[in-house]
Copies of this chain bind each other. A is one copy, B any other.
Amino acid sequence: MTFRCGLLLFPELTQLDLTGPYEVLPRAPGVEVLLVARTMEPVTAQWGMRILPDTDFANCPPLDLLLVPGGFGVDEAMLDQETIAFVRRTATEARYIVSVCTGALILGAAGLLRGRRAATHWAFRDLLKEFGATPSRERVVRDGNLFTGGGVTAGIDVALTILAEVFDANVAQSAQLSVEYAPCPPFGAGTPETAPGPVAEAVAARYATGVARTAERVRAAAQRLAN
């Protein structure tokens, strides 16, 4: 059996949203991972990393799973008709639809979150409502064939959850052991609720402008869906 996973690349993505699952998923037997982008040009992630796509939208073979990462580039991707058409078309065929971090907003812009429970990066969580979704604080949310994860590093937890679903617990545990995923963060600051108050306030303040800009784009994308 081949289980083909397409992972979406777009400019200014947060690469760890994608590279976490990319490292975990193919450790299950028969899993193939493909990086899909609008064109075959190198894609530049946040902080500058340049990654080469394996295929473009036009030539992408049928996928069993589509994974959409987040990042500042979501602002553009949500309103890019080719990207949204690709996501929507793929979603009708794939067995599983997955997002990590603000990748959920791209799924939302494709109309895939209506009436669904979903997770995203904590700073952008409320925006999910604009697409008719019910935001969740959980790190990994499953709603039918839709898996959505929280911010950035949640992608690793999402990928392990998917392996347990598509294969079984043994396969997921083997992948976890292979990537030695026994996390041991030196601090407990991974959520606004557990971070020291001043840290949470400072980080939220730093995100505020970006969240406001994304909110505008989300409303425009939601408007397009309504029309």
Residues of A at under 8 Å CB distance from B?
14-16, 19-20, 22-23, 26, 33, 35, 42, 47-52, 54, 101, 121-122, 139-140, 150-154, 156-157, 160-161, 164, 169-170, 172-174, 176-192, 194-196, 198-200, 202-203
CA distance A170 to B201 in the complex (A): 12
> Taking the nearest CB of chain B, how far is it from the CB of A147, in angstroms?
12
- Scoring A47, A154, A190 by chain B CB atoms within 10 A of each residue's CB, the highest score goes to A190
Contact (Cβ within 8 A) B160 A176: no
> Taking the nearest CB of chain B, how far is it from the CB of A127, in angstroms?
15
Chain B residues with CB below 8 A from A186, complex form? 140, 157, 160-161, 164, 172
CA distance A183 to B140 in the complex (A): 11
> Taking the nearest CB of chain B, how far is it from the CB of A9, in angstroms?
10
A191 and B203 in contact (CB under 8 A), knowing A48-B54, A184-B140, A186-B140? no
Which of B54, B150, B160, B161 interacts with A180 by CB under 8 Å? B150
> Taking the nearest CB of chain B, how far is it from the CB of A179, in angstroms?
4
> Taking the nearest CB of chain B, how far is it from the CB of A82, in angstroms?
22
Other A-B pairs, 18, CB within 8 Å; known A15-B23, A183-B183: A16-B19, A19-B23, A23-B47, A33-B48, A51-B51, A140-B186, A150-B180, A151-B179, A154-B184, A156-B183, A164-B187, A170-B196, A173-B196, A174-B189, A176-B190, A177-B200, A178-B203, A183-B185
- Scoring A33, A178, A181, A198 by chain B CB atoms within 10 A of each residue's CB, the highest score goes to A181
Chain B residues with CB below 8 A from A20, complex form? 16, 19-20
A182 and B203 in contact (CB under 8 A), knowing A35-B49, A153-B156, A176-B189? no
CA distance A226 to B213 in the complex (A): 59
- Scoring A101, A153, A195 by chain B CB atoms within 10 A of each residue's CB, the highest score goes to A153
